[in-house]
Structure formats: structure tokens, C-alpha cells
Amino acid sequence: MTFTTRRHAAWMAGGLLLCGCGSYPLPKVYLLGDRAPPVAGAASTNGLPVIEMKTVQVPDSLDSTDIDRLAGANQIISSPTGRWGERLSVGITQDLVATLSAQMPQVVIENRGAYEPSRRLLVSISRFDISPDGQCVLSARWRLTDATGKVLSDSEEATFIEMAASGSDGAAAAAMTVALDHLATRIAITVGSAITAPPAG
């Protein structure tokens, strides 16, 4: 085979490879939470308690942009048709900050370091998965501390279960969002009790 023939064969093979790759649709990108459009206006935060929410801790096996599903007792598979728009820990954190801010307008919940916090909210996720039958399970633990790390609330934990409406990636994202909404409601109760409790002493 001459050099010219080899080069032509390589070009043909490359073209076929590109055509093969082009036959697969790009995965859709999903976000946790309901990302409502911002509302124009200004609001004062002067005098409001500031709570810094640290980035939520999740197991290393989950902290990626893959939309994972359980495929058995010891196996997870990643969806070929969808992915998260950010790492799961980042998506969970942003969703909880937005949901808690909407539920608790009497405090400032933030994760960007824009304010000097008087309290910190620590949340860790031990399980967040979708089973083959569409059952979403979220297990989480949380506690509130002051700026120095002194614990202001007992460590609490809970498990939330939701059913996805179908086996699609979008249904999985919706079920996981509802589970996070329930978690935010429970955390809001903890935070509300802590900030309204009389000082110890």
C-alpha cells in the first residue's frame, strides 16, 4: 500500500468514526430545583441574621455530573441521555440555599461569602439515589453552629422517599427536587427554632 493510499484509508476511517459519533444525540442537561427567573428590585438585609451554608457533603461516588441510578445492590449506572449541569454537591447546595431563602425571608442564607455570617449550616448527604422502580431515597444529616463552630442545635437526620413519575432523566430530576424540598422544610424548622431560642445562660 502506498503512502497516498494509506493516507486516503486513514481519512475514510476518520470520516466514518465522526459519522458514527454524530449518530448519538447529545445528553440533555438538568438542574435540581425550580430555577425561577429573578425578580427586579432591591431588598435590605440590614439587621437580618446571616447563615452561611457550607457546600453540602455527598459521597464521592455521587459527586459528579452523572445522573446515576441503582442497578442492583452494589451497582450504579450513569444515564447516557442526561447529565447534571453541575456537580451534584453544588446543585444540592444551590437548591437548598434558594429554597431556604424563600421559606425563611427573616434570615439571609448564603453560600458565596458575600456576608459575614453569625451562624453556619452544615448538611451532609449519606444517600441520594433512584432505584430501578423509580423510588428516590434521600438520607441527610444537618446541624447549626455559630461562627466559632459552637453547636447551636442538636444534629438531626431524616430520610425522604419520593417516586419518579417515569423512568426518564427529567422525572428523576423532578423526584430528587421534591425530596430536597422536604429536606429544606425540615432544616427550616431547625434553623427557626435555633435563632428564636433565648440565649443560654
Q: Where are the domains of the chain?
A: 50-196
Residue 78: helix, strand or coil by DSSP?
strand
Instruction: State the residue for C-alpha cell 429573578.
Output: 38
Q: What is the mean pLDDT of residues 179-193?
A: 95
Distance CA 132, CA 172 (A): 11
Q: Which amino acid is at 2?
A: T
The candidate with the shortest Cα–Cα distance to 187, out of 109, 74, 84, 75, is 109
Q: What is the mean pLDDT of residues 50-64?
A: 94
Whether 109 and 121 have beta carbons less than 8 Å apart is answered as yes
135-157: per-residue pLDDT in tens? 999 999 999 998 888 988 889 99
Residues 6 or more apart whose CB falls under 8 angstroms from that of 19 comprise none
* Predicted model pTM: 0.81
Whether 157 and 183 have beta carbons less than 8 Å apart is answered as no
| CATH number for region 50-196 | 3.40.50.10610
pLDDT of residue 4: 41
pLDDT over threshold 60, residue 114: yes
Residues 6 or more apart whose CB falls under 8 angstroms from that of 52 comprise 110, 111, 113, 115, 117, 119, 120, 121
